[in-house]
Amino acid sequence: MPDRRHFLILLAPHVAITTVMILIGSLVVVTKVLTESLPIYAASCARFFLAAAVLLPFARLREIKLNSRDWRDFALVALFGGLLFNVLMLWGLARTPALIGGIITSCLPAVVALVAWIVLRETPTMRAKAGIGLAVVGSIIVAWDGQGGEITWGSVLIVAAVFAEAFYIIYSRTGRQTPVRQAFFVSFLAAWMFLPFAIPEIGEVNVAQWRDWWTVVYLGVVVTAGGFYLWFFSLRQLTAFQGGVYAALVPISAVVLSVVTLGEVLLVHHMVGGGLVIAAVLLVAWADRHGT
């Protein structure tokens, strides 16, 4: 019995982070729907305020005292994971199919390795460096429009969103509060960061579009509140680099949902580029496991 309990304790963060990455994959698809039906900044602001409201009763704020370091950590995570990632993803998905967005996010593990190299001075192994290179090449192939021989701006914006997500992963490990408190403060600060962009869109909000607002409820309650909590819970036992490797599940979720729910078509150059990105993920995972 103790062995089984120990196994479940070790398994829990892996199950949690797997769920998070599947939710992020669904975010890519649901965000595509959101950009076509609702004012994006107002909807995003509402999403984060809703997440904060859901998390508030569980945060037990009266029991804690925050210092300047805590606020700095929350602000950095909210900036990269809340504001920049979502704004860049929203702009990108308004200009490119969700399918391509999902595939480009495949390079996240290699980008995390690159950011850790730059920010944390963690020198990547030769395999990790090869993975970074493959991810870059694969993302360029996926981003190619296949017609005019140009890289689409939507794809470039999604690549930028991936870098923002990588910084989010790196800075997420700096927090010292419980997972639910981290999730609350990051959601709350992200909502306020979106507010200046949301205010000009208030006149465009049509509450009667209730069928479209389900996307905001889903993103706020499930992806943001639930996803943030599971994310911070998993990173208490996993490294940021391991979190980046698990991000390989994001494109699988996004691509499957894009094809099934949005009817988007998977083309040959998407598969070629995606194959290179998967190879990059495997190289990075191998390097993480064997240290070579």
Q: How would residue 166 be classed by pLDDT, with cut points 50, 70 and 90?
A: confident
CB of 248 closer than 8 Å to CB of 278: yes
CB atoms within 10 A of CB 195: 15
Per-residue model confidence (pLDDT) at position 34: 76
- Is the pLDDT at 288 greater than 60, yes or no? no
Show the tokens assigned to 194: 């979106």
Q: How would residue 224 be classed by pLDDT, with cut points 50, 70 and 90?
A: very high
**Helix/strand/coil for 248:** coil
Per-residue model confidence (pLDDT) at position 146: 52
**Helix/strand/coil for 265:** coil
Encode 76-107: b = buried (16+ Cβ within 10 Å), e = exposed: bbbbbbbbbbbbbbbbbbbebbbbbbbbbbbb
Q: How would residue 229 be classed by pLDDT, with cut points 50, 70 and 90?
A: very high
Question: Any idea which of 6-15, 25-34, 170-179 has the lowest mean pLDDT?
Answer: 6-15
Per-residue model confidence (pLDDT) at position 7: 60
pLDDT digits (tens, 9 = 90+) for 184-215: 999 999 999 999 999 998 877 766 566 677 88
CB of 134 closer than 8 Å to CB of 281: no
What is the rounded distance in angstroms from the CA atom of residue 145 to the CA atom of residue 9? 46
Give percent above pLDDT 90 in the chain.
18
Per-residue model confidence (pLDDT) at position 278: 72
Chain-centroid distance of CA 169 in Å reads 9
Looking at residues 223-243, what average pLDDT do you find?
82
**Helix/strand/coil for 64:** coil
- Is the pLDDT at 136 greater than 80, yes or no? no
Question: Any idea which of 51-55, 167-171, 192-196 has the lowest mean pLDDT?
Answer: 167-171
Per-residue model confidence (pLDDT) at position 188: 96
- Is the pLDDT at 53 greater than 80, yes or no? yes
Residues composing the chain = 292
pTM for this model (two decimals): 0.77
- Is the pLDDT at 254 greater than 80, yes or no? no
Show the tokens assigned to 170: 């790196």
pLDDT digits (tens, 9 = 90+) for 87-122: 898 888 778 776 677 677 767 777 877 787 777 776
What φ, ψ does residue 28 adopt, rounded to 5°?
-60, -45
- Is the pLDDT at 26 greater than 90, yes or no? no
Q: How would residue 148 be classed by pLDDT, with cut points 50, 70 and 90?
A: very low
Per-residue model confidence (pLDDT) at position 234: 85
Give percent above pLDDT 70 in the chain.
74
Per-residue model confidence (pLDDT) at position 209: 63
Mean pLDDT estimate for the chain: 78
The set of residues, in sequence order, having a beta carbon less than 8 Å from that of 26 and lying 6+ positions away, is: 223, 253, 254, 257
Give CA torsion, residues 94, 98, 99, 103, to 10 deg: 90
- Is the pLDDT at 59 greater than 80, yes or no? yes
List the beta bridge partners of residue 151: 144
CB atoms within 10 A of CB 74: 25
User: Could you give the C-alpha distances from 292 to 121, 204, 238, 269, 281, in angstroms and in order?
Assistant: 17, 54, 20, 31, 15
Closest by Cα among 139, 202, 196, 206 to 166: 139
**Helix/strand/coil for 151:** strand
CB of 192 closer than 8 Å to CB of 74: no
DSSP, res 36? T
In one-letter notation, the amino acid at residue 193 is M
Q: Angle 278-280-281 (CA atoms, 0-180°, nearest 5)?
A: 65
